[in-house]
Amino acid sequence: MKRILTAIITALLLVMMIPAPNAVAKEYHWGFTKAKDGNPPDAGAEFEQVLREYGAFYRGNPEKKVIYLTFDNGFEAGYTEQILDTLKKEDVKATFFLTGHYLTSASDIVKRIVKEGHTIGNHSDKHPNMARLSQEGMLKEWQNFDRKLKEITGIERTYYVRPPEGVFSEELLEVGNEHGYTHIFWSIAFRDWDTDQKKGKEYAYQELVNQLHPGAIILMHTVAKHNADALPDFIKEAKQQGYSFGTLDELVFDYLVDEMIWGKAS
């Protein structure tokens, strides 16, 4: 009997020592309470902590009237060049988060974006749910995009990434960090991607102005005509209110300087 009990205990110990399957990483869906009256949006304590821990950004310094324009391009709908015309006229630089499909299907526009001094961001190659990929799959999405970008523009690689539909995990942020990618989310956005809803430029203009706040990272989709039409008036209004337009490089640099000097960057 003693031998039987010993065998059972030994077997149970062996089972307990077998590593458990990795738990499925918690999947986050980016979101926040919209900014109002010039005050920054509320992303909640959990999001604030996670993004800070992994060096990701959704806004800049809330005490500086600098804003950052970013555009997501999954496919071309005929409005990106109008947006580029406005940016050139107003002397504003922006970041365009592109997909692999956009790189190959709108390569002439991609070359213009680069030529006019804008930044290319990595919105993944195939636009999957990045949080559900293996680490190898995550890296493959970014690197396949970078390979295509180099073939088309000569740019070696990207440094700023944005997960499709704002879906992410801590693992995704960590893998990005390990390979030199910084995640960029946003603090101003609105329902502008539905091409079936043509709401007119006043809709886009009011959404942008009503949510405007210092340090804003603005997300707009280039597929929307109302965005392209509203952009000139919005830029003029923002400048009139005392805002300037910065780049993501400037955003990250300012953050690092504040951290080194004060140890309390926002």
User: Is 72 in the active site?
Assistant: yes
Residue from 118, 183, 221, 226 carrying the catalytic annotation: 221
Distance CA 247, CA 266 (A): 17
Distance CA 89, CA 1 (A): 89
Give the C-alpha distances (Å, rounded to integers) separating 239 from 38, 66, 177, 207.
14, 10, 34, 17
In the structure encoding, which two tokens stand for residue 182, read together? 């910084």
Decide: 28 and 50 in contact? Cβ < 8 Å. yes
Give the C-alpha distances (Å, rounded to integers) separating 89 from 93, 209, 247.
11, 20, 17
Residue showing tokens 């959404």: 207
CA 58 to chain centre: 8
User: Is 221 in the active site?
Assistant: yes
Q: Which amino acid is at 64?
A: K
Residue from 72, 125, 229, 254 carrying the catalytic annotation: 72
Catalytic residues: 72, 221
